[in-house]
Structure 1
């Protein structure tokens, strides 16, 4: 039985308005020396014009580039200097937000910068600026939609669920044609209409002085003029006169997928809470009616998902099933109807209702576990729920849902109601689509080399400055300097060898657990790769005294989530639970670890699921790139080069005896670390671990010696063909360093300005901001206790594959020589100041415990790292670059369209490309 929620948790905040209409929300939280700042404009794709779609999202990009007083680079450049979390933004149908967490000494700087977005930005948008950012956004669309399995599904659903003229008929990212046609005048018209103080909410949450904050807000925002009144949009729920069935042969899909979508309700509608419960109950877990039929009984798919997606004007209810290879989607739809009929007959029990409410309570608290999370929620409620104080009512509305409410919304929104069904099937497999489906209309971009003109990154915008009552070009000073606060860590070792590390924090009533057992691929038989992954999944398929269904329900009753996964080097159990149920969850975890059920039927279902996952990876360009790059780095026979899922043949040959053998020989307390962060102290933790300490007996485990990693003498190019790919996925690199190497943290410092610093990095500035070749690019070192690679990774538009590779090579060749004192100053400023953010969230604290544990670091290792940064010199950076950035001894892997790009890659200068498929 799920326990009733605590009613004492409350978020306190202050709300006020400036004379120009700007709404301000302030929430104090002094637990960490950080502050989250978010500016939310009540404008998304729903307020665009047809033929000019994608503008709201385009603005999300433009507002980071430049403003009158921050200058070129705008907030991105400032973020690097002040140690921010990385200024970012997001756009949906109804709002656009801009956000960042910064050390609290930089709050005035952030308020100054956010005001520049709202009042002192639009004059900086010129034709060259717009032309470049169009390319970046088009690359984002290619990466997220065009070059991704099932990427066009939402487009097809939107066009058919919402009629022409409805604001949700088009996608947030817009169309390539609309983006290309956008003019500067279009952009300015959009900005002046929607980016006004009276259509915007400023939220500040964290460690700050409210009196000071209000003075700064008044200084920087008050003289920005109010815009024209913004009329509220009326709710526009839709009705479908007849059901529609559509199909599409997807270039990147290896498996058939069925989506069925019904019209739903807007955000915070009274029915949205019952629909949320209904979606969870029908699809989530072993006992879910849809799961029982589709996954367990008929074995048509490995899982079924159902979601209730609510937006400001309307909502939609979506059931999606990615079936096994070759499955007819008509069978999947028949199975969906069988599952729905089961629900109609039996409804939802009180126990099931209570456990779902407990899950939703945990999810609610998790969303408030950072200062930025609290700020997001306050703004969300302010704009869409009628006031920010709804934050203290939302959980109550969840808890008020009854079983009758759940059946009522099913009957009013799903039963016998018209729907949109989409069948996305592999190329050449149209016969798997639903019967009587029409071909979906999707706009596919043609690949042509060099059709997009390069933009000149050095063009300086000239514009007339907006007048102000004071000189806004002067950046505010920092506040009082901050001291890095290291969380208090306690640690102990249990009598059976488990190392325990903990941090106590009480910001939200949750406990987060990470239990890691060393092993994974390192202990697998090379002829049967995939055992540790299957074992990790098997551990949640029941215990000696509980079936899978009973175990899932016991976890849900506690408002907990438990995940077990395998990696190259271990098996990890991660859990989150309401504080009041922590000890009860640890009793369950003891069962999971010590008394596996070994159910043969569940084992066969898991094998089928993993085989299906492998099939899909074989047509996903990003998965292909990751798997092939590992083989190049380590050599194809090295254990760390293997995909830990296994292969189709290895999965077929693995038996449940293989899992039992691994479990018996290698799942040992002496290989285990237990890390916990949350609202529990050391005594509560050690008490809760007594059962695991008593019953989990020690055993000796020997690790096989790893084979040597091959040394690459000269660079080679490898090409994996994905016909019709709209982007090329690049992975360039070589085997570099282990985390335990003395140079490992120094090379992180060195790499910050190369490709580790986001918008502060040279790779991003030149390939994204300068050329518009990519949506994102990064470089980094990823060693563990074993040697890991240095890598450069990106997705670039297909027709500049060679040009992107040449530019990356040039940047790598020149990086050390060109590194300047200014580069070092920016690196030091970010790496020192950003330490204030390093331990804010519970997940960040768990990461800190992981480093302390796995690499035998002192509790204050962050202070040692800070000292290394402060002492670093330009010459040391140059020496590290000469030693570790070696473009002439790297693997250059391209996953893309060979027909148009393979031959061109000879021009990179590393010989004939080697085809991998």
Structure 2
């Protein structure tokens, strides 16, 4: 076997892949894309080795020794397209089931093991075509992961019993409610799928399936599905990262060879569709507050060469202020604040989605007409080769970003292998992007969009049907009725007995750890400039890319009373052109470099996030300097920015999570406190803000002595400082001090507040109390203390009892949302409506008992996770930026990760119990519930926390 480090020979003519085009390849029957003679061919290689076991399992190894971690991806070529009508949602159900238990891992399965070995948290995904299981772990746990993945594939199905199936059905149904039934526009994809595809097509239903089909599924159905599709010859295993390939192959053969080959799985046949007419549908959406129009055209399946052309076409249409669709709808007609256009690609067929969420009260016929006008402008105004080259430069940067983690490489290699039957596609696709020409773009536009039939879906707020597109017919949408007293009954706590699958060796013995990985300590270089800016950097040349962050302390904390939202609007305006560049010109200058620059406000900062090719870092920082110090202050752009915020505020009225968070702020913080407001402000405060207010904020509240600049990537510190020379000279130090805010008082006792959302399928539970600041010497240990309560995902009691034990929720967690200025301890989840009281009562009980029931076993699990997960601490550029940010915000030393490890090692059970008693106060928690008051409000009095306060 021969392995090489990833080698990337790059020039300005090299183009990359966006996340939306991971798996596309020409087929022999496809048209040939004409060559672009202006682009020189460049070498790009990601080396791997592939082999196959006798049972058909295909295995791919990719070596990356930059960090002591390894990612393991197990991907099955089964998604919703392999399901039968009437038994939909099975592929997604299996994504859940395979984490729960297997014969030799025992109850808790991979989730439980992940906590012990310092994994990233075992995760999965289900698409129409593939189900992925992936995790990144320290490389000393590789044999354990191979053992565990083999156990899932060959030694799992006997552990699925009727109670296990009944419970997981409830979890999946909660996920569907959260993603689809209980949110605005949640049914859009269902409306599109059922009307674009004939009933016989497997894409006519969504991967999450229907609640009726899930409820009807029997244990025998589940076992038959598993036996058919979860077999080695329908599965790919990818191992990517820092490991010994010879040893890894021996382990793969040992643990997977015993699993028998399944029935042959035939290749999927492309089933692209053509519409005979345009179909217009509407839905009165009880959760929507503003109208949304979606138009969808059928497009070719993955691997068709036209998909690469579509990536260029999409960006030409919407990905700049000058782009005709964006410009027409946003800048010119002011109907919306954004336009979304994307190609949803799958193995058998694909769809091009155009989604416009309009401003309040806008007639969707007006939006439809504006879309047509945008297409007319596209045809009339044309575009140039330079426009295409600019787009390809941006794709180059995205390509490198997609290679920044070992799990990203693993997922993509598996996808190419399963769907293209060729993992080498990871090295071929750039050529397809590189060859796209103007002629290809016009051909594809005419072939798939111009004058072609499409699906139109008008989603309008209830009672606002006149806003729907003229001629639209009512969409057929089945909405679940959640009935009190009809909860499923099951008990998964009992030990289940089952026959064990024969094996040639004893699989019940968990493999040992390998050699302990050496956790790298990155070389952090720091300096302070003459104007007070602090600069820190970590050099790495793994890819020719740089990421950076400039964090300016203050943000919303500096908003004037009655004008909350000022910092947010200022940050938006800093993105909208400079004194010498109109907004479109600034955008073009950034994209020509293949860079990204985004300025945004948080509650406690103004932040600049960016990335660039290393060779373009100087030029990118020059643009950042111009944006920060020489804003354009355009009245028209300011009006657009305010309109966008006002639309956001309108949409937040239908977002249960946003409502819960805002109401909690108003309860915890006193009137007038800056943190009692939303970052975006409210309707009245935004109305009050003038452009002069924005200019004054910029002049008085943006200061270099409050700025920290963090850089990670292939640029040395000396060059970084040199690149900042102009910013340093043009941005003088001022007398402005860091903001100071009063800490909120701890509530005297717990209280329950209820916000009514009539007809809600779920209740959002947001529980909080004031907590210790991130600068407190106890803060990190308090975070560690919370791991078993709610910070450890499937290792936590909240998840184990509310999701795994009761099936009340899809997810729940707890944690300290803290900075140097403010902090809350928060528990957050959404549960099905008819168990609102039961869920709250259980959360209350778990929190009350936590400190007294924390055990030595809990401490061991916590310590193993925190100590072993340090191997993953510095893997990506974003992770390195995170380390630098922590150091600056919290005044931490360069070796703080190692020092924190010593704190974790020294923890005792009594210390954890004391930390819980000091920093979590069950009798002072504030409970905010957003749900259906008619069915749930009265029952909450049983919590014993006094009369429930109605918030609306």
Contact 2:102–2:156 (Cα < 8 Å) also in 1: yes
Structure 2 match to 1:881: 916
> Is residue 2:358 matched to residue 1:323?
yes
CA contact (8 A) 2:320 2:584 kept: yes
Does 2:19 match 1:5? no
Q: Which residue of 1 aligns with 2:308?
A: 273
Alpha-carbon distance, 1:708 to partner: 4.4
Equivalent position of 2:945 in the other structure? 910
| Matching residue of 2:679 | 644
Matching residue within 796, 821, 839 for 1:804: 839
Residues 11-90 of structure 1 mapped to structure 2, 5 A cutoff? 11-90=46-125
Conserved? CA contact 2:554–2:739, under 8 Å:
no
| SS of residue matched to 1:235 | coil
Q: For 1:472 and 1:264, locate their aligned partners in 2 and report how far apart those are by CA, in whole Å.
A: 47
The match for 1:511 among 543, 546, 563 is 546
Which of 525, 548, 567 aligns to 1:490? It is 525
Q: Which residue of the other structure, out of 605, 621, 624, is the alignment partner of 1:570?
A: 605
Give, in whole Å, the separation in 2 of the partners of 1:801 and 1:103: 39
Correspondence for 2:212 = 177
| Residue 348 of structure 1: how far off its partner (Å) | 2.3
| Aligned equivalent of 1:601, options 595, 619, 636 | 636
Corresponding residue number in structure 2 for 1:613 = 648
CA contact (8 A) 2:325 2:375 kept: yes
2:568 maps to which residue?
533
1:205-354 map, 5 Å: 205-354=240-389
Aligned partner of 1:589 in structure 2 is 624
Contact 1:347 1:407 in 2 (8 A): no
Are the equivalent residues in 1 in contact too, given 2:706–2:738 (CA < 8 A)? no
Aligned to 2:771: 736
Distance in 2, Cα, partners of 1:787 & 1:538: 27
1:857 alignment counterpart: 892
Look up the match of 1:682: 717
CA RMSD, aligned part only? 1.1
1:635 is displaced (CA, Å) by 2.8
Q: In the aligned structure 1, how far is the partner of 2:826 from the partner of 2:715?
A: 40
Is 1:724 the counterpart of 2:769 in the alignment? no
Deviation at 1:747, TM superposition (A): 1.1
Question: What CA deviation, in whole Å up to 9, does each residue of 1:717-741 have, x standing for no partner?
Answer: 0001111111100011210110011
Could you tell me how far 1:697 is from its partner in structure 2?
1.6
2:152 is aligned with 1:117: yes
Matched residue SS, 1:555: helix
Counterpart of 2:786 in 1: which secondary structure? helix
Report the more deviating stretch, 444-453 or 601-610: 444-453
What is the TM-score with the length of structure 1 in the denominator?
0.99
Cα shift readout 1:418-450 (whole Å, capped 9, x = no counterpart): 100000111111110000111111111113113
Secondary structure of residue in 1 paired with 2:424: helix
1:872 Cα offset (Å): 0.5
SS in 2 for 1:316: strand
| 1:158-178 superposed Cα distances (whole Å, 9 cap, x missing partner) | 100111111100011001101
Partners of 1:707 and 1:216 in 2: how far apart? 58
How much does 1:519 deviate? 1.2
SS at match of 1:737: coil
- Structure 2: runs of 5 or more not aligned: 1-10, 16-41
Q: Which residue of 2 aligns with 1:792?
A: 827
Q: Is the 8 A contact 2:741 2:821 kept in 1?
A: no
- Asked whether the equivalents of residues 329 and 370 of structure 2 are also in contact (C-alpha less than 8 Å), the reply is yes
Give distance in 1, aligned partners of 2:849 and 2:654.
Answer: 36
Secondary structure, aligned partner of 2:530: coil
Q: Is the 1:633–1:789 Cα contact (8 Å) retained in structure 2?
A: no
**Maintained 8 Å contact 1:669/1:696:** yes
Hey, what does 2:234 align to over in structure 1?
Answer: 199
Structure 1 regions of 5+ residues with no counterpart?
A: none
Q: What is the rounded CA distance, in whole Å, between the counterparts of 2:101 and 2:724 in structure 1?
A: 54
Q: Distance in 1 between matches of 2:692 and 2:303?
A: 50
Supply the distance in 2 between the matched residues of 1:635 and 1:73 (Cα, whole angstroms): 43
Pairing 1:455–2:464 present = no
* Residue 838 (1) aligns with residue 873 (2): yes
Quote the Cα distance in structure 1 between the aligned partners of 2:372 and 2:134: 43
Post-superposition Cα deviations, 1:379-435, rounded to whole Å, max 9, x if no partner, equal 111122331111111122111110111111010001111100000111111110000
Superposed displacement of residue 707, structure 1: 3.4
Q: In the aligned structure 1, how far is the partner of 2:492 from the partner of 2:674? A: 44
Secondary structure of the corresponding residue to residue 263 of structure 1? strand
| Cα displacement string for residues 291-342 of structure 1 (whole angstroms, at most 9, x for unaligned residues) | 1111111111111111112110001111110000000000000000000011
CA contact (8 A) 1:255 1:616 kept: yes
Contact preservation (8 Å) 1:3, 1:557: no
Distance (whole Å) between structure 1 residues aligned to residue 739 and residue 145 of structure 2: 52
Asked if the contact 2:183–2:654 (Cα under 8 Å) also holds between the matched residues in 1, the reply is no
Shift of 1:3: 3.2
Match of 2:396 in 1: 361
In the aligned structure 2, how far is the partner of 1:813 from the partner of 1:666?
A: 43
- CA contact 1:34–1:837 (8 Å) conserved in 2: yes
- For residues 109-147 of structure 1, the C-alpha deviation after alignment (integer angstroms, 9 at most, x for no partner) is 000000011110011111011000000000000111111
What CA distance in whole angstroms lies between the structure 1 residues aligned with 2:460 and 2:921?
Answer: 43
SS at match of 1:775: strand
Asked whether the 8 Å contact 1:128–1:459 carries over to 2, the reply is no
TM-score normalized with structure 2 length: 0.95
Measured against aligned partners, the alpha-carbon deviations of 1:542-582 in whole angstroms (never above 9, x if no partner) come to: 11111000000111111111111101111001011122211
Partner secondary structure for residue 355 of structure 1: helix
Deviation at 1:703, TM superposition (A): 4.8
Residue 546 of structure 2 aligns to a residue in which SS? strand
Residue equivalent to 2:850: 815
Q: CA deviation at 1:782?
A: 1.6
Deviation, structure 1 residue 705: 4.1
Map 1:554-565; keep pairs closer than 5 Å: 554-565=589-600
Rounded Cα–Cα distance in structure 2 between residues aligned with 1:550 and 1:691: 21
* Shift of residue 8, structure 1, vs aligned partner: 4.2
Task: For residue 263 of structure 2, give the secondary structure of its aligned residue in structure 1.
Answer: coil
| Corresponding residue for residue 137 of structure 1 | 172
Q: Deviations over 1:577-600 (max 9, x none)?
A: 122211111111111111111111
Q: Deviations over 1:147-199 (max 9, x none)?
A: 11111100101100111111100011001101100111110111111111111
User: Contact conserved, 2:553 with 2:738, CA < 8 A, in 1?
Assistant: no
Q: How many residues align?
A: 916
CA deviations 1:515-555 (Å, max 9, x no partner) are 11111111110211111101101111111111000000111
**Shift in Å, 1:752:** 0.5
Task: Return the offset for 1:686.
Answer: 1.6
What CA distance in whole angstroms lies between the structure 2 residues aligned with 1:458 and 1:322? 46
Distance 1:516 1:804 in 2: 39
Q: Deviations over 1:354-399 (max 9, x none)?
A: 1111111211211111010111111111122331111111122111
CA distance in 2, matches of 1:262, 1:347: 22
Deviates more, 1:7-16 or 1:811-820: 7-16
Aligned to 2:4: none
Q: Distance in 2 between matches of 1:204 and 1:787?
A: 42
Q: Which SS does the other structure have where 1:534 is aligned?
A: helix
CA contact under 8 A between 1:455 and 1:770: conserved in structure 2? Answer: no
